[in-house]
Amino acid sequence: MSDTPFVVVEGLHFSRGDKEIFRGVDLQIPHGKITAIMGPSGTGKTTLLKLIGGQLTPDAGRVLIDGEDVHRQSRKALFAMRRRMGMLFQSGALFSDLDVFENVAFPLRVHTDLPASMIRDLVLMKLEAVGLRGARELMPAELSGGMARRVALARAIALDPELILYDEPFVGQDPISMGVLVQLTKRLNEALGLTSVVVSHDIKETLTIADYVYVISDGRVMAQGTPQGLDVDQDPRVSQFVHGEPDGPVPFHYPAVDFFTDILSTGGRR
């Protein structure tokens, strides 16, 4: 990690309506590594990815990708910048009117003038990398959730991006496809020298592949470090999250009046 970080997030503030989601988040995401961003559900991890991808604009703070401020770009420059990024969505987000082949070919057709034969070769290469070359003629509706995500991964790497953002890649998968996706993420990162950002709350899987981990809670970075470092972290909040304890500093109960007084009270219908 001697070189400058690829993505820098500085003092990020963002709120949606009256709800403050980020209150000063600072992140440094190094080149060629897998950085995991974790945190309990509802802490705005997906929002953070959208802020990095330039789809949302922060209230304060900035996001630098390779030294350029994402939110200070013209629409055109932003779209050009996005060619260097791939994003994998929670649902896969395959285009439902195109088959698997066309989905992967889509970024190539839009951004390059390659001849049809070369597009075919590239698409088959990417599909081979995710092990779905045989499924090229299926429509997205015919794929299982795990397969759809692998196709989406092939599409995300179609243009050989430098940065790839994973939004909850492991959520809701059976153990086999979860294992496949974990392996793929790791292998692609090594083989292509990608910078990966994985947003997830699947602790076990994420910790096995991540090089560096940020834990976000209450709109701030609560903890950071290597997976090994976090595992032995003494902070009770970190320990609760990393080890998945049901009760701790993050309470099991939604805030309420004392149970005993509540149950004995007679006023009101509730």
Partner 1 sequence: MIERVTILGRRGCELLEALGRAGVFLFLSAVGIPSREGWYLWLRQMHFVGVLSLAIVLVSGLFIGMVLALQGYTLLVDFGAEQALGQMVALSLLRELAPVVAALLFAGRAGSALTAEIGLMKATEQLTSMEMIGVDPLRRVVAPRLWAGFVALPLLTIGFSVVGVYGGYLVGVEWLGVFEGSYWGNMQASVDFIGDVGNGMVKSLVFALVVTWIAVFQGYDLIPTSEGISRATTRTVVYSSLAVLGLDFVLTAVMFGGLN
Partner 2 sequence: MKRSKMMELGVGLFMLAGVLGLVFLGLRVSGLTFTAPADTFRLEANFANIGSLKPRARVTMAGVTVGRVAAIELDTDWYDARVVLELDSELEGRLSRDTTAAILTAGLLGEQYIGLSVGGDPETLADGDTIRDTQSAVVLEELIQQFVSNMVSD
Q: Which residues are at the interface with partner 1 (CB under 8 A)? A: 50, 53, 55, 79-80, 82-83, 85-87, 89-91, 93-96, 106-107, 109-111, 152, 155
Residue 146 CA to residue 152 CA, distance in Å, equals: 10
Taking the complex as a whole, the smallest distance from the CB of residue 184 to partner 1 amounts, in Å, to 18
Q: Indicate the length of the chain as a whole number.
A: 270
Q: What is the distance between the terminal CA atoms of the chain, rounded to a whole angstrom?
A: 57
Q: Which of 102, 231, 233, 235 binds partner 2 (CB under 8 A)?
A: 102
Taking the complex as a whole, the smallest distance from the CB of residue 118 to partner 2 amounts, in Å, to 16
Closer residue to partner 1 in complex, CB, 71/237: 71
Q: Are 81 and 54 in contact (CB under 8 A)?
A: yes
Give the ranges where the chain is alpha helix by DSSP (H). 45-52, 75-82, 100-111, 116-129, 145-156, 175-192, 203-209, 227-231, 236-243, 259-264
Taking the complex as a whole, the smallest distance from the CB of residue 116 to partner 2 amounts, in Å, to 11
Closer residue to partner 1 in complex, CB, 90/239: 90
Taking the complex as a whole, the smallest distance from the CB of residue 143 to partner 1 amounts, in Å, to 13
Taking the complex as a whole, the smallest distance from the CB of residue 79 to partner 1 amounts, in Å, to 4
Residue 137 CA to residue 135 CA, distance in Å, equals: 6
Q: Are 86 and 157 in contact (CB under 8 A)?
A: yes
Closer residue to partner 2 in complex, CB, 40/106: 106
Within 13 Å of residue 177, how many CA atoms lie on the same side as its CB?
Answer: 16
Choose the stretch contacting partner 2; rule: CB under 8 A; options: 15-23, 97-105, 192-200, 215-223. Answer: 97-105
In the region spanning residues 103 to 122, those forming contacts with partner 2, defined by CB under 8 A, are: 109
Contacts to partner 2 by CB under 8 A: 98-99, 102, 109
